[in-house]
């Protein structure tokens, strides 16, 4: 992996060792079964909660581990190295659901919502995307109307990670239609997990103290190319009454909260991509050192060595970009462009490296006997979620032009 001491401190390396041991022992043996069955990994989720993986960067006062963003990035990377359906559990929960409450919530909101999330009692999610608004998320149609001391939400979100299994969600709704993206508000919404029996069995995933809001329901599990064990669903709001104390930040000022959350989330997706690429690379080093053709190990062919050298260079660059963006965010420095560049680069590296891994496993790479085909399927979403590659290029170009004093 090379010397990363410019970025990582001892506690980050300890986190890496701890999560790597856990992932090898508990996730690697069952990852392909979960991929096939598409079941949510409740048992491993409970073990991850026990290890404190759902609250890594949050203050101990709110049930967190009191570490930092980089520790969480390293944990996601190490989980993704073995299985991305497990890493997205920590990633989506931490960067999309809990972080906005930590950064924008009142102490009372942190007590009520961040504490059960960070302590690993329940899972959380982030509701921005709708059937008609993905990249153009400001054109959302979900509405919130004020009635007395409550807001009444109507609408639908789609592609929501943890939609079914989660209990706390940050959801965007239009509160002032005439104001465009300056008329969107962020709401904290709660419901019971759809797998109450599993949650009770493993002792993780449900809190009786959170209100199950009437009219807040979910659709069927969406079937996907990869991330098969991750729970992705529609959220449906039919006259859901949300108390005004559940508004996160200010009325009509929710869109900047979503954008800030996405800046952090993109660093998280870069960490997933990096981990997937590293996992596929590790498998490939092992395989090309064992498999022989033409009386040679295949890693002794120069053509294969060139592929390995290119892959390692891309992984290293992705790692440096991801850790750098994480450090900037941790230190409160501007990081929009760096986060977008890290996700753009790391997600393309993940696609390229996993495709190379399948290629270098030959026919076996295409079979379900080896994990590289799953890794290749899991890599693709990193080029789509939390800003497609094309949207990231728009963000990067805008930041570049601003830096040059041009109209962005
Ligand atoms: C497995 C999974 C999990 C997800 N989890 C969540 C979640 O937890 N919460 C959530 O809110 N969302 C989630 N999403 C949604 C995800 O963020 C969106 O799918 C993504 O932002 C793209 O939106 P879209 O699918 O509507 O595609 P569209 O916006 O319709 O884009 C379609 C294509 O058009 C391109 N395009 C669009 N606009 C432009 C432009 N201006 N210039 C150039 N090209 C453009 C895009 O790059 C893309 O290639 C998830 C999606 C998936 C698949």
User: Measured between alpha carbons, how far is residue 34 from residues 46, 86, 226 in Å?
Assistant: 15, 10, 11
Instruction: Report the mean per-residue pLDDT for the chain.
Output: 97
pLDDT per position as a tens digit, 143-172: 999 999 999 999 999 999 999 999 999 999
CA distance 291 to 297: 6
The CATH H-level (homologous superfamily) assignment of domain 10-118 is: Acyl-CoA dehydrogenase/oxidase, N-terminal domain (1.10.540.10)
pLDDT at 1 over 90: no
Of these residues, 26, 130, 373, 386, which one is catalytic? 386
Helix (H, G, I), strand (E, B) or coil at 202: helix
Q: Is the CB of 101 under 6 A from ligand 1?
A: no
Q: Is 160 in the pocket of ligand 1 (CB under 6 A)?
A: yes
Is the shortest distance between the CB of 129 and ligand 1 below 6 Å?
A: yes
What's the gap in Å between 145 CA and the centre of ligand 1? 27
Quote helix, strand, coil % in the chain, to nearest 5: 55, 15, 30
Domain 257-403 -> CATH class? mainly alpha
- Name the 3-class secondary structure at 140: coil
Mean pLDDT in residue range 208-227? 97
For ligand 1, say whether the CB of 44 is within 6 Å of any of its atoms.
no
The mean pLDDT value for 113-142 works out to: 98
Which residue ranges make up each domain of the chain?
A: 10-118, 124-253, 257-403
Question: Hey, what CATH topology would domain 124-253 get?
Answer: Butyryl-CoA Dehydrogenase, subunit A; domain 2 (2.40.110)
* Domains 10-118 and 257-403 are alike in CATH topology: no
Its sign, for the CA torsion 245, 160, 253, 114, is positive
260-276, pLDDT tens digit by residue? Answer: 999 999 999 999 999 99
| Dihedral of the alpha carbons of 70, 274, 97, 373, in degrees to the nearest 10 | -150
Q: What ligand 1 atom has the least distance to the C-alpha of 389?
A: 47
- Measured from the CB, is residue 128 less than 6 Å from ligand 1? yes
- Kindly report, residue by residue over 275-332, the tens digit of the pLDDT: 999 999 999 999 999 999 999 999 999 999 999 999 999 999 999 999 999 999 999 9
Check residue 408 and give its pLDDT: 75
Confidence of residue 2 (pLDDT cuts 50, 70, 90): confident
Residue whose tokens read 């986060």: 339
In which band, very low, low, confident or very high, does the pLDDT at 5 lie, cut at 50, 70 and 90? confident
Q: Which of 221, 229, 222, 129 shows the shortest CA–CA distance to 169?
A: 129
- Any ligand 1 atom below 6 A from CB of 170: no
Mutate to test the pocket of ligand 1, among 129, 164, 173, 226 (most ligand atoms within 8 A of CB): 129
> What's residue 3's pLDDT?
84
* Cα-to-centroid distance, 335 and ligand 1 (Å): 21
In tens, the pLDDT along 11-47 reads 999 999 999 999 999 999 999 999 999 999 999 999 9
Distance (Å, whole) CA 248 – CA 103: 10
Nearest CA to ligand 1 atom 9: 160
pTM strictly above 0.85: yes
Length of the chain: 408
Q: Distance (Å, rounded) from C-alpha 115 to C-alpha 98?
A: 9
Distance in angstroms (rounded) separating the CA atoms of residues 172 and 155: 10
Residue 386 annotated among the catalytic residues of the structure: yes
Mutational pocket test of ligand 1: of 348, 385, 389, the residue with most ligand atoms within 8 Å of the beta carbon: 385
């Amino acid at each position: 992996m090379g010397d990363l001491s410019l970025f990582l401190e001892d506690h980050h390396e300890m986190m890496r060792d701890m999560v790597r041991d856990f992932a090898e022992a508990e996730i690697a043996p069952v990852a392909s079964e979960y991929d096939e069955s598409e079941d949510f990994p409740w048992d491993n989720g409970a073990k991850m909660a026990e290890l404190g993986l759902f609250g890594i960067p949050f203050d101990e006062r709110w049930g967190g581990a009191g570490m930092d963003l980089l520790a969480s990035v390293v944990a996601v990377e190490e989980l993704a190295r073995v299985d991305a359906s497990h890493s997205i559990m920590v990633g989506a929960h931490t960067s999309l659901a809990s972080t906005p409450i930590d950064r924008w919530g009142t102490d009372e909101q942190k007590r009520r919502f961040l504490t059960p999330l960070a302590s690993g009692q329940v899972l959380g999610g982030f509701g921005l995307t709708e059937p008609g608004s993905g990249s153009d998320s400001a054109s959302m149609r979900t509405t919130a109307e004020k009635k007395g001391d409550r807001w009444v939400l109507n609408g639908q979100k789609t592609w929501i990670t943890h939609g079914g299994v989660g209990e706390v969600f940050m959801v965007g709704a239009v509160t002032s239609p005439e104001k465009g993206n300056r008329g969107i508000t962020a709401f904290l919404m709660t419901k019971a997990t759809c797998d109450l029996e599993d949650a009770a069995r493993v002792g993780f995933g449900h809190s009786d103290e959170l209100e199950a809001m009437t009219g807040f329901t979910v659709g069927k599990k969406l079937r996907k190319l990869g991330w098969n064990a991750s729970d992705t669903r529609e959220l449906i709001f039919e006259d859901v009454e949300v108390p005004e104390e559940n508004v996160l930040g200010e009325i009509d000022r929710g869109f900047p909260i979503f954008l800030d959350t996405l800046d952090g989330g993109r660093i998280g997706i870069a960490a997933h991509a990096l981990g997937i690429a590293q996992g596929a690379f590790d498998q490939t080093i092992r395989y090309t050192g064992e498999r022989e053709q033409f009386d040679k190990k295949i890693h002794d062919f120069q053509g294969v060595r060139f592929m390995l050298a290119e892959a390692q260079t891309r992984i290293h660059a992705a790692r440096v970009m991801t850790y750098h963006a994480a450090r900037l965010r941790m230190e409160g420095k501007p990081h929009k462009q760096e986060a977008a560049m890290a996700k753009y680069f790391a997600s393309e590296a993940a696609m390229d490296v996993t495709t190379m891994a399948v290629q270098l496993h030959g026919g076996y790479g295409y079979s379900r006997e080896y994990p590289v085909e799953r890794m290749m399927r899991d890599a693709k979403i990193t080029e789509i979620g939390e800003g497609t590659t094309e949207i990231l290029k728009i963000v990067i170009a805008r930041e570049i032009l601003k830096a040059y004093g041009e109209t962005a």
